[in-house]
Structure 1
């Protein structure tokens, strides 16, 4: 398996490039609009063909590159049910998406947003904003629901084997990967917390509104197609 973790410094977003070594087919997970040229350059350098783009949810802090990548490569855009209407495929819990010989299993993990999904590939899970390193996504906009997120964390993600590596959608402290075992033990919001304790924590974060939310949400609902393409695209 070809695996690369890429970073957008403005939004602290991780994008993942996953490729099948046999077929050279590849997927980009949560690509950032301004980084489309970087990502396409890497795809070409690694002799891969981009066949899929996965979004874990409709983002509020950056604009997805799924639309421009689809235009450039004819890749299939995949998103959760209830998310961006422009996606080519809307997936449900338990669905499988094949990228070459790689099989991704879809896990519905709503709560941060109502369309949030995670993608499980063997002992790797790509969790978007549902589960972060020692944290989780906020629940105070885009039909977020703290009770629903607690269920997604404890009944869906924490049901995976402890050794499963967790690849989050963001990190603001330079951390790159965690595991289900680590988060079950050390995540301060959910480890050892009851559902009501978790809800209380989430209701009292008092976070500022994401700076790009008014632009990003409508743009991402259109797969980023409502903005000007990056230089050279």
Structure 2
């Protein structure tokens, strides 16, 4: 199975991508709207056919990325059946399964943080994705959105703590750099509900936490009641060319588009002197600035015209494109796979 744990720093949110290696059918759990480009790039690079974007609950600290993923990949949006949210394709009841390839997730209703919280258990019970219901050495707050500490106690004890002790716990958040835990660990060491904690112990703890409300609650809740869809707000996309973000954060351009629009851009070849006229040649009218000289040569370049950086494979020129962007050049992209792709496709070269 393909499995990736991803992190969004501002709200300390974990997003999880799971896919079947054979069919490439996959699901994503708790995506964050600000990380859409990153998540979409990874999905494309791995060739995943996204079946579902799933949220463990209606979040109050960040806006879900589910709507943008649906727009980009045609996936369905899914939540627990207790949620009253617009633009949802499937509301799942307790015990239902969500299938992707030969794998599946079982839905567990785990209310208490909110009244609509669910957790997702992998079919072999090796992993459980707990959202905010159970955190690493903690749990979600219970003081708004229908939260109820007694319900959360029962959810954790009767739904999550009955899973095998080796089952790995993957939470919706962690604020201390911890990535995962296990059911056995949390049963033994969770300071709120582990060990011999009774329901009265847990409820007393939760009722006296006195936490401030999440910073983004005023914008997050209304947006998440629409599955992250915000009317009139579109993702910012560069207009000068059809660019692609890769998972490494690089803006790339397709060789075919560049071949059709060479006169519209400045091509900057950042290879060394001995490579510029080697067997791969170079693009017609390319400006030759070796990577080591780029910083001192930026004054030669205009910020009004789009720039495409080029090297042999697209790796050094990716670094060049980032350097140009950092220096204030807004229209910059890297030639995807460099001269190797350009020559393989038979586009014109000079030498």
Moved more, 56-65 or 44-53: 44-53
**1:37–1:232 CA contact under 8 A, matched in 2:** no
Q: Superposition pairs for residues 116-131 of structure 1, below 5 Å?
A: 116-121=117-122, 122=124, 123-131=126-134
Match of 1:199 in 2: 203
Matched, 1:29 2:34: no
Q: CA-to-partner distance for each residue in 1:37-95, whole Å, 9 max, x for gaps?
A: 10010011112111111100000000000011111111011101122232100011100
Match of 2:218 in 1: 214
> How many residue pairs end up in the alignment?
233
Match of 1:73 in 2: 73
Q: Distance in 2 between matches of 1:232 and 1:134?
A: 40
**1:36–1:230 CA contact under 8 A, matched in 2:** no
Instruction: Pick the structure with more strand per residue.
Output: 1
Q: Superposition pairs for residues 113-152 of structure 1, below 5 Å?
A: 113-121=114-122, 122=124, 123-152=126-155
SS in 2 for 1:154: helix
Q: Distance in 1 between matches of 2:235 and 2:139?
A: 30
Unaligned runs of 5+ in 1: none
Match of 1:230 in 2: 235
Q: CA-to-partner distance for each residue in 1:97-147, whole Å, 9 max, x for gaps?
A: 111221110000000000000000021100000000000000000000000
Q: Superposition pairs for residues 43-54 of structure 1, below 5 Å?
A: 43-54=43-54
Q: CA-to-partner distance for each residue in 1:172-215, whole Å, 9 max, x for gaps?
A: 00000000000000000001211011000000000001111111
SS in 2 for 1:38: helix
Runs of 4+ in 1 over 6 A off after TM superposition: none
Q: CA offset at residue 22 of structure 1? A: 1.0
SS in 1 for 2:185: helix
Unaligned runs of 5+ in 2: 239-351
Q: Which has the larger radius of gyration?
A: 2
Matched, 1:173 2:173: no
Higher relative contact order (CA 8 A, sep 6+): 1
Q: Distance in 2 between matches of 1:60 and 1:168?
A: 16
Q: Distance in 2 between matches of 1:211 and 1:119?
A: 27
SS in 1 for 2:17: strand
SS in 2 for 1:135: coil
Match of 2:18 in 1: 18
Q: CA-to-partner distance for each residue in 1:149-177, whole Å, 9 max, x for gaps?
A: 00000111000000000000000000000
Q: Superposition pairs for residues 97-108 of structure 1, below 5 Å?
A: 97-108=98-109
**1:34–1:230 CA contact under 8 A, matched in 2:** no
Q: Superposition pairs for residues 77-88 of structure 1, below 5 Å?
A: 77-83=77-83, 84-88=85-89
Structure 1 length as normaliser, TM-score?
0.98
SS in 1 for 2:202: helix
SS in 2 for 1:98: strand
